[in-house]
């Protein structure tokens, strides 16, 4: 495998405004291409918007959704990928067979759709159908997986994706700055966003504290470290419907180190070079080889009561 230059982006999307969101995706992709990126990843539901969907009924969810890859959004995404000769990853609501609605994340390059994944643990809207399989695809000799937002909090999903061969896991999110049972969690006042030019310090303290980045750093690097993978985390910045999100899209290497991160309060991207040597050098590679599945296969695989119905407000 040869080194890859991967970009992860953040931007302030508009609810249900696919044209605007795709325009921002194109602009950021063009800029990343000029800086030598071979791929760029955007956040969960970056094409459609996300948080507004908690208010939609079934028909409204169907109206905002579209088939993949036949729908206009994936066609437009493919045009962007073709124009800049890049792998582009973005999310949307998909209208599937039998009018099922899925939370989908797609990867397209100049040849068209090369991967599609359905979120396993959706909760923003009760009319979304959970996915039922993992996704690992090959690109430029690297094995890539996808897990959306809350999927990454269930640690078995990350390990399973690694065991299926993933060297890179794309982890698109819309997260942080929402209430939770953990200490320090909560919304960030939108007034701070609109006053960020006059008082950036107060906003940065909220974004970097336990409502935001400090919580993320409790667990996200561990997913990369334990599994010896590159984690490509993407998250929106600014207002998503009536909720404020703090961005900090980042790339974490197999040692659990942040090697690139968006730190501004605006639309931007960062690029990191992924090298294959780290995959074997990292401790997680040894831990996986040392596994003894006979000790716990019946425990991990044991049937249990699913807690699939989670309130939309629950933090990922």
DSSP string, 71-103: SHHHHHHHHHHHHHT-EEEEEEEEE-GGG-EEE
Judged against a pLDDT cut of 90, whether residue 97 lies above it is answered with: yes
Task: Kindly list the structural domains of the chain, giving each domain's residue range(s) and its CATH number in brackets, ordered by start.
Answer: 4-300 (3.60.110.10)
Task: Inform me whether the pLDDT recorded for 51 exceeds 90.
Answer: yes
Q: Is the pLDDT of residue 14 over 90?
A: yes
48's tokens: 């459609």
- C-alpha gyration radius of the chain: 19
SS3 219: helix
Task: Give the CB-side neighbour count of residue 98, counting CA atoms within 13 A.
Answer: 5
Grouping H, G, I as helix, E, B as strand and the rest as coil, residue 179 is: coil
pLDDT by residue (tens digit) across 221-276?
999 999 999 999 999 999 999 999 999 999 999 999 999 999 999 999 999 999 99
Q: What is the pLDDT of residue 311?
A: 45
- Inform me whether the pLDDT recorded for 141 exceeds 70: yes
What is the average pLDDT score of the chain? 95
Which two three-digit tokens encode residue 99? 């009018």
Shortest CA distance to 168 belongs to which of 87, 262, 243? 87
pLDDT over threshold 90, residue 106 = yes
Three-state SS at 20: helix
Residue 312 has pLDDT above 60, yes or no: no
d(CA 95, CA 212): 32
CB 165 within 8 A of CB 143: yes
pLDDT over 80 (residue 31) = yes
* Residue partners of 207: CB distance under 8 A and separation at least 6: 177, 188, 213, 246, 247, 248, 265
Number of neighbouring beta carbons within 10 Å of residue 289: 8
Give me the pLDDT at residue 306, please.
Answer: 63
pLDDT of 63 over the 90 cut: yes
- Omega before residue 249 within 30° of 0, cis: no
Answer yes or no: are the C-beta atoms of 15 and 240 closer than 8 Å: yes
Q: In this predicted structure, which of 113-117, 279-283, 300-304 has the lowest mean pLDDT? A: 300-304
Task: In whole angstroms, give the CA distance from residue 229 to residue 234.
Answer: 16
pLDDT of residue 315: 44
130: Cβ contacts below 8 Å, ≥ 6 apart:
118, 119, 120, 121, 122, 308
Q: What is the pLDDT of residue 308?
A: 52
Decide: helix, strand or coil at residue 133: coil
Beta strands, E only, the chain: 4-10, 39-41, 87-95, 101-109, 112-118, 136-139, 142-146, 168-172, 230-234, 237-240, 243-246, 250-252, 258-261, 268-274
- Name the pLDDT band for 302 (thresholds 50, 70, 90): confident
Buried b (16+ CB within 10 A) or exposed e, 260-283: bbbeebebbbbbbebeeebbeebe
Strand order in the sheet with 258-261: 136-139, 142-146, 168-172, 230-234, 250-252, 258-261
State pLDDT tens for residues 148-190. 999 999 999 999 999 999 999 999 999 999 999 999 999 999 9
d(CA 108, CA 42): 12
Distance in angstroms (rounded) separating the CA atoms of residues 126 and 221? 30
Mean pLDDT of 119-140: 97
């Amino acid at each position: 495998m040869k080194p890859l230059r991967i970009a992860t982006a953040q931007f302030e999307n508009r609810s249900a405004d696919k044209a605007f969101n795709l325009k921002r995706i194109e602009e950021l992709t063009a800029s990343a291409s000029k800086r030598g990126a071979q791929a760029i990843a955007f956040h969960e539901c970056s094409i459609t918007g996300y948080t507004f969907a908690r208010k939609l009924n079934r028909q409204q969810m169907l109206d905002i959704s579209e088939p993949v890859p036949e729908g206009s959004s994936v066609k437009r995404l493919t045009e962007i990928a073709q124009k800049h000769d890049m792998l582009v990853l973005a999310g949307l609501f998909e209208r599937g067979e039998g009018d099922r609605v899925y939370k989908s994340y797609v990867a397209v390059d100049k040849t068209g759709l090369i991967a599609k994944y359905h979120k396993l643990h959706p909760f923003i809207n009760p009319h979304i159908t959970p996915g039922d399989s993992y996704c690992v695809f090959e690109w430029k000799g690297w094995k890539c997986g996808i897990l959306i937002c809350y999927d990454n909090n269930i640690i078995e999903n990350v390990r399973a994706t690694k065991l299926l061969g993933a060297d890179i896991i794309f982890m698109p999110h819309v997260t942080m700055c929402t209430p939770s049972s953990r200490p320090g969690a909560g919304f960030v006042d939108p007034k701070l966003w609109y006053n960020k030019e006059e008082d950036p310090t107060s906003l940065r303290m909220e974004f970097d504290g336990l409502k935001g980045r400090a919580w993320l750093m409790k667990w996200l690097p561990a997913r990369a470290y334990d599994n010896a993978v590159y984690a490509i985390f993407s998250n929106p910045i600014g207002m998503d419907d009536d909720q404020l999100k703090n961005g900090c899209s980042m790339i974490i290497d197999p040692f659990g180190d942040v090697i690139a991160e968006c730190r501004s309060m605006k639309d931007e991207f960062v690029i990191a070079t992924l090298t294959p040597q780290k995959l074997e050098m990292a401790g997680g590679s040894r831990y996986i080889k040392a596994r003894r599945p006979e000790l716990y296969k019946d425990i991990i695989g044991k049937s249990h009561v699913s807690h699939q119905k989670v309130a939309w407000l629950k933090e990922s």
